[in-house]
Structure 1
């Protein structure tokens, strides 16, 4: 006897499942849900990632996003802008330049304004992203974590998990 559980065929306990093939009940399009680089849930209704491209659009649609916070100065690509328009997603852009140490200047006013947007539940679900979802996104999420009263070691651990070998002491400070 076969039954469906969340789109996957499962077999009752009477049958030897070692030889059972599990087949998705939905179309092959459902198998093309590809999250953007460094995608993760930050909190209820708040997500982070690297720059999404067209391969990620189907996945992003499943999030029912209201807003995107883009932390880079470069113009948003036309294909991405069309995706936002067709899905009713607002774009908030903060042109924070990418800096490598020792020349670091993360503008506090831009981070404060981006935090206001993140904290406003009317903008949820919201995706925060920069190019790779590491440094600028990590700084904004780190500031959010401080507002959530996380201890610094936990904030730094989360930053390190996404930045990996490219972690910057200046971003953490």
Structure 2
């Protein structure tokens, strides 16, 4: 029996107590030795990759196809990227649809790019304080400086995005009326 090996920097971003299916995970890029863990424990429906399409191997594509995961790639190298707000808008449109849950959002190492997306989820959807977001960012990056990332999260104004969503499909943890 092989032990399950989770992806690098795996963590839980959202675990709704109202609906056990409304879970968002974060991680580094899953490797073949992580596939059994993902298949048998996370029960994913959607995988969002924040990185370069060039990094997606044929083996990873086969894993995604085999498991019928919805797979979306958002090209991003840093918070300086062109059209970053548009990419974040589309990521949030996926997150704001409960039919996409459970979700895994990953980058290559699960540190900076995922730290930004996780920080925005925590700030915008969960109402976390900036100090809590900074602390979590530091845990996953090993306190490697990410001043631009943290400044981006701090200054991000979600009101400018005009995210499309269906109120009937919003996840229950948002406590909407």
Into which bin does the TM-score normalised by the smaller protein fall? Answer: 0.7 to 0.9
2:117 to 135, 140, 144: 140
Gapped regions of structure 1 (runs ≥ 5)? 1-27
1:84 to 64, 86, 95: 64
SS in 2 for 1:68: strand
Q: CA deviation at 1:135?
A: 0.7
Check if 1:154 corresponds to 2:157.
Answer: no
Check if 1:105 corresponds to 2:78.
Answer: no
Alignment partners' CA distance in 2, 1:87 and 1:167: 37
Alignment partners' CA distance in 2, 1:133 and 1:167: 15
SS in 2 for 1:79: helix
Match of 2:168 in 1: none
Match of 2:73 in 1: 93
Report the count of equivalent residues: 140
Check if 1:166 corresponds to 2:148.
Answer: no
Alignment partners' CA distance in 1, 2:52 and 2:109: 14
Match of 2:4 in 1: 33
> Superposed, which structure 2 residues align to 1:7-86 within 5 Å?
28-29=1-2, 32-44=3-15, 45-61=23-39, 62-75=41-54, 76-86=56-66
What's the TM-score once normalised by structure 1's chain length?
0.76
Bigger helix fraction: 2
Alignment partners' CA distance in 2, 1:133 and 1:78: 21
Q: CA deviation at 1:116?
A: 1.8
Gapped regions of structure 2 (runs ≥ 5)? 16-22, 152-177
What's the TM-score once normalised by structure 2's chain length?
0.75
Q: Is the CA contact 1:66–1:124 (under 8 Å) kept in the aligned structure 2?
A: yes
RMSD of aligned residue pairs (Cα, Å): 1.4
SS in 1 for 2:143: helix
Question: Deviations for 1:24-66, whole angstroms, at most 9, x for unmatched residues?
Answer: xxxx13xx21001100111121000000010000000121110
